Structures are given as structure tokens and as C-alpha cells.
Amino acid sequence: MTTHAPAPTPRATPPVKTHRTAAGLALPALTALVVGSMIGSGIFALPSQMAGSAAPGPLLIGWLITGVGMLMLAFVFQGLAQRKPDVDGGVYGYARAGFGDYIGFTSAWGYWISAAVGNVAYLVLLFATLNYWFEGTFTDGTTTMAIVGASVLLWLVHFLTISGVKNAAFANVVVTIAKVVPIVTFIAIAAVGFSSGLFTQDFWGDSAGLGTTMDQVKNMMLVTVWVFIGVEGASVYSKRAAQRKDVGRATVLGFVVVLALLLAVNLLSYGLMAQAKIAGLADPSLAGVLEHEVGSWGAGFISAGLVISLLGALIAWVLLAVEILRLPAMEGVLPQGLGKDNAHGAPANALWMTNLVTQALLLWTLKDSSTYLDLIYLATSLILLPYLWSAAYQVKLGLTGEAYADGHGRWRDLVVGAIALGYSVWLVYAGGWEYVLVAALFYLIGTALFVWARTTDKKQLFTNVEKVLVAVVTAGAVAAVIGLAQGWVSV
């Protein structure tokens, strides 16, 4: 979807700075935010989810596509941080700067809803994992006891964050280090026990009933995106960075670390167990793979690592969720109250709104019994358009030459942006039209807040192009409601 909306309403632009504030987040904290938000639940559930979608051959093709695509997106965020240092807010700021206020709103809103749904997925899996020690109490993480426990934990994180963003960021650094340890331990053990015969058995999935190679590649795509969500974390927090140049460094450094861990975990698993057996493992399937290799202590070790990992991811994503509301509120795209900080420097109103919505979704999960996989597919689909708009902005800058006064790096960035944009479009296709319709429903609900903010500030509601976009969103939302009611939309 392409729009030629005019630039957003002019606002006072601060002078470009390399050093934001001595008290800001430094490179280690920003990198930990990227790694912490990317390594949550996905890597621990990766073996069974991938084995249920693709054999080793298609898996390698899918990882190649994902690795290149996500690397290009990482380079997009790195490049935009350097070329547009005055634009804050990552996916929100780039969408707004490139395509107007309403597109900026949809990017922020979609990202925020994705974060809230993702946090529910984390909490569900966390308590499903605790069932390892409290068998029959939490089962799949959607029992009454599990939701009560998840709710208590959610509000503990809430009050940690409301005491100050830097406190939560420091906690995230500590937890990020702790949760990488069991993953590295698994990789070391798996490397020793790896069997090339198992890995190459039914290499293309001819006898596994998984469909064609293209079908298998397509089916694994949303899972691979889920495990990379968070690569934009440092750019979302760019306004709080001590040095702007650290934003790009943290993005690429975090991506490379996580990519190496993901590839090692996924590929080595295929050399420890037969694909069909891996596909049948319960989440966290990484625990089942290690238990098969070393005995029952392996399952307990991985489960403990996952609990730590999920706690860290929850903290990281609460931070990202409130920040993506705070900046649009400061710029008149969302109601101003969401941008106010408390005495500790935490955006309290945005935090309350985020966690109240997360709490409501937890209660909905109790009623609906949505599985972890359903939740991550929904969260992933909602973040695809924010990624797409960021890539499109870099393409726009490359085509117009804006921010390239000396011409240096323009064509390189244009190629990077074009690949990232093509990858983003492919992801929307691979995700399926049902998720696009449900995303439209969420966007339409949030549009009420956009209208509220614009009316309060006595600004024009929509440009002519934005009116067309709102009409498209409305049509998609109506189709989603009808589809959900009649059963042909089952997200």
C-alpha cells in the first residue's frame, strides 16, 4: 500500500545531538534491550514449531530468507538512526516522518497491540513451564490458577517499571545475561551429540506430509519473525539513548548474537531427534530435546532458563510498549495524557493503559483458551506493517536523496531498503489475509484515540489520502467482524 500523504504537521525540531544525556541508556543497556526483547519464549519453543512446519532442507532455505530479510531490516534501523537522528520512536517515528500522522499512528498502535498480545503469550508460556514443577496446577498456562499467577506477576513488573525506566532497564540487563546461559549450554551439549544421519534423513520432507518445499518455507515464516521481533528495540528507545550512534550499533550487535543462537538451537535439534518426534514435543520443546539427550535434569535446566528468559522478555516488552505510546502522545498523535512522566521519569499513564489491556487479554485467554502459538501468530501479524513502513521510509529517502547531501551511501541504503521492503511484503503475504483483517479491526478501534487527540489539539483529522486509508481500514475491520461471527475468520 503506497500513500503520498503530505509531511506531518511541522513541529519544533531539536538540534541534532550525538550525546543526548549523560544519564541516558548506554550501549550495553541498549544491546541488552534488543537481545532481551528478541530472546523471550521463541527460542525455547523453536524446535517443535519448526519441525511441525519444515524438514531440514526447506528449513535452511527459510532461515536464509529470514536471515537476509531481518538483517536488511536491522540495517534499515541502523541507517535511519544515523541519517535521521532527529526522528525518535523507531517504527513510529519513521512511519510518521515519511508518510504522515495517521500512518505514524497505525505503526505505533499496531506495535503496541503486538506488544500487549506478546506479553500475554509470554505469561501463558511462563506458567505452562512452571507446571513442570507444579504438575496439574497450571497445565497449559490458561487455567484459573495460571491466570491468577500471571496477573500477580504482571502487576509486579508494572510497579517495578513505574518506579523508573532505568531501574527496569538495569533489571533487564541482569536477566538477559542469566537467560543466555542455558541456551549456550544446550548448544554445547547438542554439538557433541549431533548426528548427521538424523539431520539428513528425509531432508526435503518428502515423506513427512508437510507439503511442497515452498509450502514448508511459507509455513515457518511467521515463527521466524516472532523470534526476531525486538530487533527494533534500541531504535524505539532512541530518545533515551546516551549516544545516538549506539542505537545502530546495539541493533546490529543484538541481531547478530540472536541469529547465531537461533540457528545453532534449531539446526542442532534436528541432529538429536527425528523430526516427527521433535514436532510432537510439548512447549518448551527445547526442554524435551535436551531431556532426550541427557536425561530429566535437562528438562528442568531448560525450564528454569525459560522462566528467567520470559521474565526478562516481559520487562523488555513492557518498556517498549509504554515508550511506543509515550512519543506519539507527546507529538499530538495520541492523547497527551499518555505522554506524561511521573516523578521517577516513567510514563505512568501509558504504563497503566498497557497493563490494563494486557490484564484484559489475560482474562480473555482464560475464557477463550487460546494457545501460545495462536497468540504469537497474532502478535507477529500486528507488527508486520510497522516494519513495512520503516523499510518504505528508507526507500523513500534513497529515491528523493533527502539526508544524502553528499550522495555517500545513498544507493547502498536504497538497495537495503528495497530488500527489506520486499521481505516485509512477503511476510504480510505469508501471514495470511485473516491476520490482515484482524489487524484492521485493531487499527479501527485505535483510530478513536487518534481522532480524540486531533480534536483536542484542534488539528485537521485526516488528509484526503488518509481518509482513503481510514476507509480501507474500516472495510477490513467490518470484514473481520463478519468473518469472526460466521467462522471464516478464525484468528
pLDDT, tens only, 333-371: 999 999 888 877 778 899 999 999 999 989 888 776 666
**What's the rounded Cα separation, in Å, for the pair 450 and 129?**
39
pLDDT digits (tens, 9 = 90+) for 305-334: 888 888 877 887 888 788 889 889 999 999
Q: What is the mean pLDDT of residues 88-102?
A: 92
The reported pLDDT for the residue numbered 167 is 61
The reported pLDDT for the residue numbered 165 is 57
**What's the rounded Cα separation, in Å, for the pair 85 and 297?**
49
pLDDT digits (tens, 9 = 90+) for 99-116: 999 999 999 999 999 989
pLDDT digits (tens, 9 = 90+) for 267-304: 999 999 998 899 999 878 999 999 999 999 999 999 98
Confidence of residue 207 (pLDDT cuts 50, 70, 90): confident
DSSP 94-143: HHHHHH-HHHHHHHHHHHHHHHHHHHHHHHHHHHHHHTTTSTTTSTTTTS
% of the chain surpassing 90 pLDDT = 37
Residue 159 has pLDDT above 80, yes or no: yes
The reported pLDDT for the residue numbered 10 is 35
**What's the rounded Cα separation, in Å, for the pair 100 and 332?**
12
Angle between helices 372-400 and 101-130 (to 10 degrees): 150
pLDDT digits (tens, 9 = 90+) for 41-62: 788 888 998 998 899 999 999 8
Q: Cβ distance 325 to 112 under 8 Å?
A: yes
Q: Is the pTM of this model over 0.85?
A: no
Confidence of residue 430 (pLDDT cuts 50, 70, 90): confident
Residue 11 has pLDDT above 50, yes or no: no
The reported pLDDT for the residue numbered 169 is 61
Residue 6 has pLDDT above 50, yes or no: no
Smallest CA-to-CA distance from 226 within 307, 302, 313 is with 313
Smallest CA-to-CA distance from 24 within 245, 257, 175 is with 245
* Backbone φ and ψ of 132, nearest 5°: -60, -40
Q: Cis bond leading into 47, ω under 30°? A: no
Angle between helices 285-294 and 245-269 (to 10 degrees): 50
The reported pLDDT for the residue numbered 52 is 87
C-alpha of 423 from chain center: 16
Position with higher pLDDT, 309 vs 5: 309
Smallest CA-to-CA distance from 310 within 34, 39, 111 is with 39
- Please name each of the domains of the chain with its CATH number: 27-432 (1.20.1740.10)
